[in-house]
Amino acid sequence: MPQLRGALLRAPELGITFVAPDGRFGPQLADHARHAADGRLRVRIDQSYPLADAAKAQELGESGHPRGKLLLRPQQAAGP
């Protein structure tokens, strides 16, 4: 269990927030965070959309045909 505690403590540093009212998903999410930190987590991305095209991504998701995750990209802030 020490590895689990370590992953839970590193979650904020990795940008991960665990959300579950009863806490039942915490251990599983901590395991995923550990795999991500170790480079062992693989996620297949089907398509990537700018946030402005979220409706298109939603349509594809509802169609039941994506072959991986649908990624929404927030627009980058304009530089100086």
- Locus of tokens 């965070």: 33
Please state the separation of Cα 48 from the chain's center in Å: 14
Mean pLDDT rounded to a whole number for the chain: 77
Looking at the fold, whether 57 and 71 belong to one and the same domain comes out as: yes
Looking at the fold, whether 50 and 29 belong to one and the same domain comes out as: no
Domains held by the chain: number: 2
Per-residue pLDDT, 36: 83
Q: Taking 60 as the threshold, does the pLDDT of residue 39 lie above it?
A: yes
Print the domain residue range for 63: 43-80
Looking at the fold, whether 63 and 47 belong to one and the same domain comes out as: yes
pTM equals 0.48
List the one residue out of 9, 70, 62, 10 whose CA is nearest residue 37.
10
**Are 33 and 12 in contact, with CB atoms under 8 Å apart?**
no
| Higher pLDDT, residue 18 or 29 | 29
Looking at the fold, whether 7 and 33 belong to one and the same domain comes out as: yes
